[in-house]
Structure 1
């Protein structure tokens, strides 16, 4: 009986160890930053979200960046994004930050902005972002269906202008350059950069660091529609506003 109780205790303890919250803050301008929250849930799910912080601002909207499944082998987390199937690899290390010993995640593979920054352990339980899962339960199959449907009903190629495309609701932009480079920006900060290419009315954005591509649909009148770009899981429209300098 005692052995069974001990076994159950060890299972519960291991389960709690997997439920954690890590955070990162990037200063993008004086008094302005992007805050990232990475939650690991006990059932092998993860959720990475970001919010915009401004000096003395107390209300912040969370924007989903990535979600999916993860596993932990030795001291390395491997995260697989549910929609775009890219991998993030993070190693647990101990470092000294301002004289304090901290447990952090060092990026082995990920977005470019992750490479020289750490996620710092904040809590031995996940945050309160689980409700966001209800908004983003989308699979790669759903995305592929939307792309194929768009290609099949589009009789001609729509014009694709070089320059800046802006979201109507938040400070979220896509910039396409004439040398086929691109950047996806949140509040002016480049969170995904790489090379773009088009296949009829589908725009592929190949992230250099991830070596994976994101997808947008090219529509009439200078509109791009997100097919689950990073930070956007609601098929948001981006409207062409200005040409490149």
Structure 2
């Protein structure tokens, strides 16, 4: 009996100490509605690819980044550090220096990445079938070239650096082709057809979708500190700012179809 009690106690302890089941990885890919179509092949204006691979720090830069008291992810600052070199020599043993590299946006932390499939209306195709006796088929034709621009929701120093970090994070979170500027060329067509019944007018609306990226950007004054043979990064006067951005989804169009008895 005592042996059974001992075994039971060990089993209870083992169960209590056992780690919980691993959390399933979050699927970051945004689900695209059926009303949203890809126009990459049909777009008469070839948008440049916005592939922004993570800039790999050099060995010297990687060692420096590990010494920083604040996480540094800014690709432009990493690029500058990659181009920096400090030679080790016997004469540097007594060296003491603090080099000011400027105030930089250091990292961006994303809180939310959400799509707006009707961010901006870019086109309207319509047909008056009030005099017809059968369905009339209508499809999308872009009547004029349209430039769709996104941007930050507030002014911040070194905004281009902030936009690049937010773009990288939004692309990672959504798995969508994003760009702060995208163009839909005139004459772009899509074969998908919509039926307008007799005695009705049909309106086919086209919208450029975008994602709304929200989060926090951290700034700080960056110093390169030299202490003999040691090289360190020191960040002072750290501040954080809430920031948002609208980033268009490149080469995608969202459609809305409406049928009415009277003109709109």
When the two structures are superposed, what TM-score results if normalisation uses the length of structure 2?
A: 0.20
* Larger RCO: 1 or 2 (CA < 8 Å, sep 6+): 2
When the two structures are superposed, what TM-score results if normalisation uses the length of structure 1?
A: 0.21
Q: Which has the larger radius of gyration?
A: 2
* Higher normalized helix content (fraction of residues): 2
* Higher normalized strand content (fraction of residues): 1
